Structure 1
Amino acid sequence: MDKNLKVIPVSSIFANCSYRVPIYQRNYAWGEMQIEQLIEDILGSINDPSKNYFLGNLIVNQTDINVYEVIDGQQRLTTLFLLENYLGIKFSQEALKFEARDKSNRTLTMLNKGDHDGLMEELSASEILNGYQVIDNYFKTKKIDKSELIKKLEKVFLVRVQVPQDIDLNHYFEIMNTRGEQLELHEIAKAKFLEVLDTKHDKKTAALIWDKCADMDSYIQMNFDPTVRNALFTNDWTSLKDNNNDFDSIKMYIQTAEDDNTAVPLIDILKEGKLRHTAGSKDELETERFESTISFPNFLLQVNAVIAKLAEEDATLDDKHFLNNLSWAWADAEKAKNFLYHMLKCRVLFDKNILKREYAKNYKEEGRWSLLRLEKYNDQRGAKPKYVGTFGDDDSQSNKQIRTLQSCLRITYTSPKTMHWISVVLTKLLADESCNMIKILEDYCITKIKKSEFEDSSGFGFERIVFTYLDYLLYKDGYSYLNKELIQPMRDDWHFQFRSSIEHFYPQHPVESEPWESDDLHGFGNLALITVSGNSKFSNVSPEGKISTFRKVIDQSLKLKIMSELVNLDDKKWTKQKASEHKEEMFKILKASING
């Protein structure tokens, strides 16, 4: 083996060595989706104990004996540090350090010492604390055996790659972050599709469709040159023209656009690659306004699942075998054309009917849920895009309800491989764009609720959909108790946040009172779903203290808001009886929805 390559078990990656993350690297930024995916990869990778599993490369520059500067892979490495720390694997206090980031280093040191109580929020790195809390919540929710995972880590490996000693590290890092080390899998897939198409014009049409669909963070119409846009889409730009019902008809419309008397023929523009990442003038694009729910590779798997559903078959959304999942589609030219047509059609439907995050005006920093369709309007300078509510006005009851219902699913199924609701919706829309979106989504949620067997669950065994769909029902219908309205229906000041942490309202380890028995403590009436950061704030504070100190956390969950209102009744305390009655009330709401 090359002396610059070393294969290391993940269980020993921090043994007898130190890693330094240089200042030019960004902060730790992995969230719930990436962290859970890493754990699931480890858990699911070793079905055959005789085989090893590789998590990827860790690229380093050795600066001293057993001291390595991390060039690439720090997000994965930091997550492994948090995971192994959580599992109780011991290593040096110097195992991982961030250059010139005192909060990050202080947080890592305290976690390594096991001194969680000493982690004052204002003196700690919130992103690292959140990462640790995600791991803690995942293990509790999934009931994972720590000792079993520790054994698996001995069969999971990283390849530590030492860069040449004389390399310009700044230049190397810049290349790594702009070009990447190798072709992405979706780029390989694109080449496979183009390879089986017969004519040059087929290939160019396919490349055009592919490249425009690949930009997921703007509406597909605006990714096309104006000439092509007008050829492909209806006069108001909202849909593909009726005659664009297969790959060859789309190719014909693009050919017509080429033959127009434009300043530069479309084919020449394609040859020069000018359409790959641009779409007309800068002022007609809002490149940073919208953020897609899924990435382009995950969108390709959604299209694959839609085509499978149309054939009454199943297809996975798991990207572990990405190329194999799609390989049927480049078996011959006709299958490739069929897939490419559905890609474009699904992308139009996706942009119009699946929510995004929108960063504009008062929401430019934190973003908000957005369910808008693109339409054309004309001003003195010509045709421009405008964004209006997909199901009526943006603030209409239908649009608000569908947006909230989709955001319920979005924050529940955070991993792209679990977002089956998207392919369900797209399949229905392909058959009938006027389908009942609310019924489709509610039926999907109810199916999940039934499968969860929530009435027999306890504590961390409750699935997230039980909490999130209940909050949706409370949002939709409101809630009153003893003739007092506690939750107003369709309130404008509430929306779903990325909540994944099950919180005990009466704490598991109360400081100044007696602990509850298990059935009361872990019953649904004493639980709510909140954000990871909210969970770290709540800790072992009493219900009364939580209400007075953490109002913003309380307001994350409509169920939790009801619980806080119940505290203010009678003796101003949260009791076992109140928790039990609240459980029955909430179960009654869920069962009423299930029974229609």
Structure 2
Amino acid sequence: MLSIKELLSQDTYRIPRYQRNFSWTTEDVSQLLQDIAESAQKQPVKNYYLGTLVTARKDKSENIFETVDGQQRLTALTIILCAIRHLKNCGVDFASELTWFNKINLSFEQRDRSKNLLKSIFKDPDSVEKNSISDAEELKQDPIWAAYKTASIQLHNRIEKEKGQKTNPSQGKVLLEYLLNKVFLLRTELPKGTDLNRYFEVMNNRGQQLEQQEIVKGRLISSLEKDPEQRNHEAFNQIWEACSQMDKYVVEAFAREPRTMLFSDEELFLSKVKDFKELTNVICASRKEKSETGHDPDNASLETLLNRAKKRPRSYPEEEKDSSKQPTPEYTSLIDFPNFLLLVLKIMSSEKQKIEEQNIALNDKRLIDTFDEVLELEKDKDRFSKEFARNLLYLRFLFDKFIIKRHENTWSLDTLSYRQKDEKQEKYFKATFSEMEGKLGGGPIPDPCDRIIKLQSMFHVSSPSPTYKYWMYAALRFIFRHPTTDIEKFESFLWNLGRAFMLDRYLATDNEEDKQTNLRLSFQEIVSNLFNEDTGAYRGEICKINWANINIGPDTGKQPGEAVEHFVFNFFDYLLWKRETSGKRKNFIFAFRNSVEHFYPQHPEDSEKDLSQNYLQSFGNLCLVTRGTNSRFSNLMPHQKANAYGSEKEELGSYSLKLQEIIAKARNEGEWNGTAINGAEEAAKKMFIEELEKSTPWSYNNLET
């Protein structure tokens, strides 16, 4: 067992050529940092285990280890430590704290690009920013560079006490100390003579081990009272299996007979789902006993689940004969099943108020522990498990209807139904909040749905990680209470959630030393306020907006523009779209634009044309772009960017609305200088104020829905 300090200061590790390239996303890096930081805060004396590093040594006399499994974690940890080493303006000289980290003990076999980039990040990451190393533009697109930039920003934001003002040095030291000495990996060494290529192939094709969700399922089923025919177990298992298939609508995951009995009438479903006994009667009514089908009822004990871990869920005879099995258009759910389980549990606890909702974090790494903590407090575990199964199906049905899905390169908000055609059941997609054919059915997105899609996709692309899906928790909790909501109420709720994010968090003053002046709320507090009639929808006030959160201010040592939260940019784009929903902006789509672009470059090719930091880091000069776009045009002058960005009309339409607005102004005014940037900043502030004062996004009396 090695601590991170021991791992990165001793021995040498080599990534062999048969291993894939480093492929962690920025979300993976953010999640790892968050998990470690939360553990450091909540359990500072307890060790945190990151898993296993499988290695091999060709020569026992040398401490050179070939990594067979675990290279992604090893590379990510090296990158994170490089990011800590180069942190600035955080009140701590991390370089002096890491004097032992004087070289990188990780190398890549036959991958010069990765090796050179990692060396540059260790020695001087600014050299990559300033294009002082060869092939810098290409290197910037490498996942290693993206991981480094993400780690730097995440660590800086986490360590800061107050953006642009005081920092909390002790917090940074505590986190570093915990990371180095309390986070461990288990290093195992393969026997000499092992065929490493074959071992690697087997490791990657050995099938899934028992997932956390299956262990939770086994524990909940074990809590059910046993009935002679095990109908409760059968109903629970079918509900769980149907809901776990996040790549399809839950309606189509049931066999034809129970599907017809449950979902043919929405009002009837909403009534039946309130009673587990009624659900059991419907689900088990169509099941044949073992004497007829040869299948035992699926009691799904934990032992059974362990034995089935590598098997696909079996199909039922009714499904094999179901003539309504038509191909469903491919789409992607915004979250996976473990995260959905936590959302259901969190909503249940918030509605019952038996467990403090803030104790249920949306962190699937703690799925088993979280359910164990809840079950321990439940006196009637049988009742709880049945209630959880009911709510699981209920919320999954609402999730399919009211939460957007990713479809090809756009978003959809459709309801799946079945209709009778030529004595057969036929699937069809109806746009939620409309009688028109849905996007998944080939139809256009009707305006009412598009308005909901814009708000939800704005939230999602701003925080793709499931751990930060507080907006989804809030939306699901709202429709849990109001399953028959209309578009005006749902849209107004999402709008006010966005307002609260802006006023109570992203534009709020953060001062932990003085609780009376600290106006910045956690996401949990924001959502709780929305559902608390006493506190109201949000606490922030327009007059108390802290513009320093999005502008660097006169003191250039405060906050880099790259630290402006992505939600602020996407909310601004939403406002621009909302103010012009026709013409060129009508078809605007929120996408994953994860890089902050300085339209007037930070490092212009002509150094004599440097601009004051006050203008460079101004919100007026910033916008979101894709990383590839950033690396292509980063150091071009504004007039060159305006021409390069808009060289293709179709390509221009794919950019953020804020970037499109900057390009238009730069072209119309002929230049993009301090005066133009200041004007754009003031116009942005004015629009923020005007829109944040509104309690609804539209004047519904004048809006056709």
Equivalent in the alignment of 2:24? 30
Equivalent in the alignment of 1:119? 135
Name the CA distance, whole Å, in 2 between partners of 1:535 and 1:136: 18
Distance 1:122 1:467, change over 3 A: closer
Q: What SS class does the counterpart of residue 357 from structure 1 fall into?
A: strand
Equivalent in the alignment of 2:655? 556
State whether residues 58 and 192 of structure 2, in contact with CA within 8 Å, keep that contact through their aligned partners in structure 1: no
Instruction: Out of 132-141 and 248-257, give the one that drifted further.
Output: 132-141
Residue identity matched to 1:344: L
Distance 1:565 1:388, change over 3 A: same
Instruction: Out of 452-461 and 73-82, give the one that drifted further.
Output: 452-461
Q: What SS class does the counterpart of residue 373 from structure 1 fall into?
A: strand
Instruction: Out of 522-531 and 78-87, give the one that drifted further.
Output: 78-87
Q: Is 1:134 the equivalent of 2:129? A: no
Distance 1:234 1:109, change over 3 A: same
Name the CA distance, whole Å, in 1 between partners of 2:590 and 2:645: 17
Distance 1:382 1:450, change over 3 A: same
Equivalent in the alignment of 1:70? 67
State whether residues 526 and 579 of structure 1, in contact with CA within 8 Å, keep that contact through their aligned partners in structure 2: yes
Q: How many residues align?
A: 572
Q: What SS class does the counterpart of residue 11 from structure 2 fall into?
A: coil
* Aligned pairs for 1:372-521 within 5 A: 372-378=414-420, 382-392=424-434, 393=436, 394=439, 395-435=445-485, 436-451=489-504, 452-453=506-507, 454-457=546-549, 458=551, 459-478=561-580, 488=583, 491-492=586-587, 494-512=588-606, 513-521=608-616
Q: Is 1:46 the equivalent of 2:62? A: no
Give 1:193 shift: 0.2
Give 1:441 shift: 0.9
Residue identity matched to 2:64: V
Q: Is 1:154 the equivalent of 2:180? A: yes
Residue identity matched to 1:69: E
Post-superposition Cα deviations, 1:352-400, rounded to whole Å, max 9, x if no partner, equal: 2111222xxxx4xxx3222222122455693243333223244111111
* Aligned pairs for 1:266-305 within 5 A: 276=313, 278=315, 280=319, 284=325, 286=327, 289-305=330-346
Q: Is 1:59 the equivalent of 2:54? A: yes
Q: What SS class does the counterpart of residue 258 from structure 1 fall into?
A: coil
Name the CA distance, whole Å, in 1 between partners of 2:28 and 2:483: 33
Post-superposition Cα deviations, 1:140-190, rounded to whole Å, max 9, x if no partner, equal: 555667974554432122221223446565665455445568533222211
Name the CA distance, whole Å, in 2 between partners of 1:429 and 1:124: 43
Give 1:212 shift: 2.0
Name the CA distance, whole Å, in 2 between partners of 1:539 and 1:139: 24
Distance 1:515 1:123, change over 3 A: closer
Q: Is 1:595 the equivalent of 2:701? A: no
Name the CA distance, whole Å, in 2 between partners of 1:109 and 1:380: 67
Distance 1:121 1:462, change over 3 A: closer
Q: What SS class does the counterpart of residue 242 from structure 1 fall into?
A: helix
The runs of 5 or more residues in structure 2 that have no matched partner are 86-97, 161-168, 440-444, 508-545, 552-560, 695-705
Equivalent in the alignment of 2:538? none
State whether residues 10 and 157 of structure 1, in contact with CA within 8 Å, keep that contact through their aligned partners in structure 2: no
Instruction: Out of 546-555 and 584-593, give the one that drifted further.
Output: 546-555
Equivalent in the alignment of 1:163? 190
Give 1:17 shift: 0.4
In the alignment, which of 12, 17, 20 is matched to residue 15 of structure 2? Answer: 20
State whether residues 247 and 337 of structure 1, in contact with CA within 8 Å, keep that contact through their aligned partners in structure 2: yes
Post-superposition Cα deviations, 1:487-537, rounded to whole Å, max 9, x if no partner, equal: 847522x21111233322222233324433333222221221223333333
Residue identity matched to 2:361: T
Distance 1:102 1:239, change over 3 A: farther
Give 1:323 shift: 2.6
Q: What SS class does the counterpart of residue 541 from structure 1 fall into?
A: coil
In the alignment, which of 275, 280, 293 is matched to residue 246 of structure 1? Answer: 275
State whether residues 141 and 627 of structure 2, in contact with CA within 8 Å, keep that contact through their aligned partners in structure 1: no
Name the CA distance, whole Å, in 2 between partners of 1:260 and 1:183: 28
Give 1:416 shift: 1.5
Name the CA distance, whole Å, in 2 between partners of 1:276 and 1:182: 14
Give 1:11 shift: 6.3
Q: What SS class does the counterpart of residue 411 from structure 1 fall into?
A: helix
In the alignment, which of 556, 580, 589 is matched to residue 678 of structure 2? Answer: 580
Residue identity matched to 1:153: L
Post-superposition Cα deviations, 1:401-447, rounded to whole Å, max 9, x if no partner, equal: 11121110001122212211112111221222232221111110000
TM-score (norm 2): 0.73
Name the CA distance, whole Å, in 2 between partners of 1:445 and 1:472: 10
Name the CA distance, whole Å, in 1 between partners of 2:449 and 2:211: 36
CA-atom RMSD in angstroms: 3.5
Equivalent in the alignment of 2:211? 184
Residue identity matched to 1:67: I
Instruction: Out of 31-40 and 237-246, give the one that drifted further.
Output: 237-246
Give 1:258 shift: 1.7
Instruction: Out of 294-303 and 548-557, give the one that drifted further.
Output: 548-557
State whether residues 198 and 333 of structure 1, in contact with CA within 8 Å, keep that contact through their aligned partners in structure 2: yes
Distance 1:123 1:35, change over 3 A: closer
Residue identity matched to 2:586: R
Give 1:469 shift: 1.0
Residue identity matched to 1:335: F
Q: What SS class does the counterpart of residue 624 from structure 2 fall into?
A: strand
Q: What SS class does the counterpart of residue 58 from structure 2 fall into?
A: strand
Seq. identity, %: 27
Give 1:130 shift: 2.8
Distance 1:124 1:521, change over 3 A: closer
Q: Is 1:95 the equivalent of 2:106? A: yes
TM-score (norm 1): 0.85
State whether residues 350 and 426 of structure 1, in contact with CA within 8 Å, keep that contact through their aligned partners in structure 2: yes
Equivalent in the alignment of 1:203? 233
State whether residues 14 and 95 of structure 1, in contact with CA within 8 Å, keep that contact through their aligned partners in structure 2: no
Post-superposition Cα deviations, 1:302-323, rounded to whole Å, max 9, x if no partner, equal: 1012112323552432345333
Distance 1:49 1:336, change over 3 A: closer
Name the CA distance, whole Å, in 2 between partners of 1:79 and 1:553: 34
Residue identity matched to 1:258: R
